[in-house]
Amino acid sequence: MLRKQSGDRLGSLQELDHKAALARLDALPVPELEHALLQVVADRTARPADIREQHWFLRGLSERDAVPPAFRVSFRVAASHKAMELLDSELCEAMLDSLEAAFPLIERLAPNRATRRDRTHQLVSLYAVLLQLQLFLGRLDAFEQTART
């Protein structure tokens, strides 16, 4: 559980908005931050409860330089899923740009036995959600072009 490793400084993020949740993570020392990031990726209860707040929380994490590249990609993928859950075309449009900007992050990754840090896993996840967003937005030409990549 997140609290065991990160202490009482983190606490529950369920009742927080995205800004307060990001501030909690920003306050963690580096060794505790990595464990907290793993929990955020793997456990939806380690995020704000509201789906829109989750989107902005995940998107905020994806833009932080202190967050390792593999996590930044994972958070973009997860934020994209939240945008589609919300049926919010504007958020989905914004996530297309964010996903395109993630390719250089993936280039910095190497093969890794840890799935969330593995270059191939991240690349497949990125392409999968990119295709889903393109279908969601009705961008069939872009979908066909991406599918051929």
pTM, entire model: 0.87
Predicted confidence (pLDDT) at residue 117 exceeds the cutoff of 90: no
Dist. CA 69–CA 88, nearest whole Å: 26
pLDDT for position 109: 76
What mean pLDDT do residues 57-63 have?
96
CA distance 13 to 149: 38
Q: What is the model's pLDDT at position 12?
A: 82
Of residues 149 and 67, more confidence is placed in 67
Output the CA–CA distances (angstroms, integers) from residue 4 to 9, 31, 107, in the order listed. 11, 13, 34
Task: Return d(Cα 72, Cα 94) in angstroms, integer.
Answer: 16
- Predicted confidence band of residue 9 (pLDDT cuts 50, 70, 90): low
Amino acid in position 75: F
